[in-house]
Structure 1
Amino acid sequence: MTVEVVEEKFRTQLTVRLRGGESLLGVDLPGPCAFTSGNGVDVLWMGPDEYLVLAEPGRQTELEAALSRESDAVVDVSAQRNVFRLTGSRRADVLAHGCSIDLETAPPGTCVQTLLARTGIVLLVREDAFMLLVRQSFSDYFEAWLADASLEYVP
């Protein structure tokens, strides 16, 4: 199989507003269109003073308490988006059917908000995978589109 999609259910997702500082939860803040990782979390740049913290399921309460001490505002948005991991050698080809970003040249650590098949997503480029955050209300459409776009790459 050259493409595989796995939904990562119930990921912790916290929106953080921070006007000053250099780190969150001991992880350096990323610059524009990037994300950083460490201490079991990913910190995604979403705007000039806005970040999204991703972690494994069940860490909302712990991380929200910690982040409220070091940021201006924290909101639990875990139910807002579904998270998908796309792996395989043809993963960029699949997304090219509906995304205008050249993912073949995007280095690991890239994080962008873009459209994929007319659906707003957050896209993270990892060394071995793409992580796609899709609003829950668009998830069924997104999964159907992804299945269709993947047909030619799955034996």
Structure 2
Amino acid sequence: MAETTKQDAGAAGPGVAQLRRSPAQGLAQDMTAGSTAQVALREVPFAVMTALRAEPGSAAARRVEEALGCPLPTAAGEVTSAGERHVLWIAPDEFLTWSPDGTLDPVAAGEELADRVGTDRGQAVDVSSNRTTLELSGPWAASVLAKSCTMDLHTSAWPAGRAFATTVGRVPAVVWRVEEDTFRVLPRSSFAEHLVRWLLDGMQEFSDPAARPLWR
């Protein structure tokens, strides 16, 4: 039997990456149609995420930090970064790493951190398929979130660069304020479509460019 080359395999059909379907992909057109200059919603699909457990200050944590290239967060809401790889504080010994699609191989990234934890207390698991990322942006973004999130969204209480585990529309999610007017909402994949529809509904009233945002 003749050997199949990579070129032959590519000619036979699309690669696995081209067949991927993100949790909110079916609502992409709705998100585009419902977005304005005042508030916009989009999915940032296929981010590389690793759920990490490590005891702060332990040998395992130090090895993990060396692999990440940045320290683990030490306080609620803190986010540390090394290039495009970010580490979000979830609990005193629990973290979530987040990187854009294409920057890391998700399985290899999780395995590398698991190797760094070794046999010490802790773990690292690839959870890239477990969550998706919804990005809500614009001057009214915080006002939309305020309808369904009990956190204090004023910048004095929640400045840019902080992330908290909370609920949005009764859906558990990690909400990360990457910029003053830009939030990344990370729900479980199974809740993605529900949360997109919920946020789109909350965005409808914020279309007046002359209106002054409430949560600044």
Task: Tell me, yes or no, whether TM beats 0.5.
Answer: yes
Q: 1:82 aligns with which of 132, 136, 144?
A: 132
1:140 matches 2:183: no
Residue of structure 1 equivalent to 2:174: 122
1:97 matches 2:144: no
Distance 1:127 1:63 in 2: 26
Residue of structure 1 equivalent to 2:112: 66
1:46 matches 2:90: yes
Contact 2:111 2:125 in 1 (8 A): no
Provide Cα deviations, 1:20-45, integer angstroms capped at 9, x if missing partner. 23535111211222211223201011
Secondary structure of the residue aligned to 1:93 is: helix
Extract unaligned runs of 5+ from structure 2. 1-36, 209-216
Deviates most, 103-112 or 63-72: 63-72
> Structure 2: which amino acid aligns with 1:14?
T
Secondary structure of the residue aligned to 1:5 is: strand
Q: Which has the larger radius of gyration?
A: 2
Distance 1:63 1:109 in 2: 23
Residue of structure 1 equivalent to 2:18: none
Deviates most, 2-11 or 60-69: 60-69
Residue of structure 1 equivalent to 2:26: none
Residue of structure 2 equivalent to 1:36: 80
Distance 2:205 2:90 in 1: 33
Identity across matched positions, percent: 32
Higher relative contact order (CA 8 A, sep 6+): 1
Q: In angstroms, what is the RMSD of aligned CA positions? A: 1.6
Secondary structure of the residue aligned to 1:57 is: coil
Secondary structure of the residue aligned to 2:204 is: helix
| Structure number with higher helix proportion | 2
TM-score of the superposed pair, with normalisation by structure 1: 0.91
| Count of aligned pairs between the two proteins | 155
1:151 matches 2:204: yes
Extract unaligned runs of 5+ from structure 1. none
> Structure 2: which amino acid aligns with 1:2?
Q
Distance 2:207 2:108 in 1: 40
> Structure 1: which amino acid aligns with 2:203?
S
| Structure number with higher strand proportion | 1
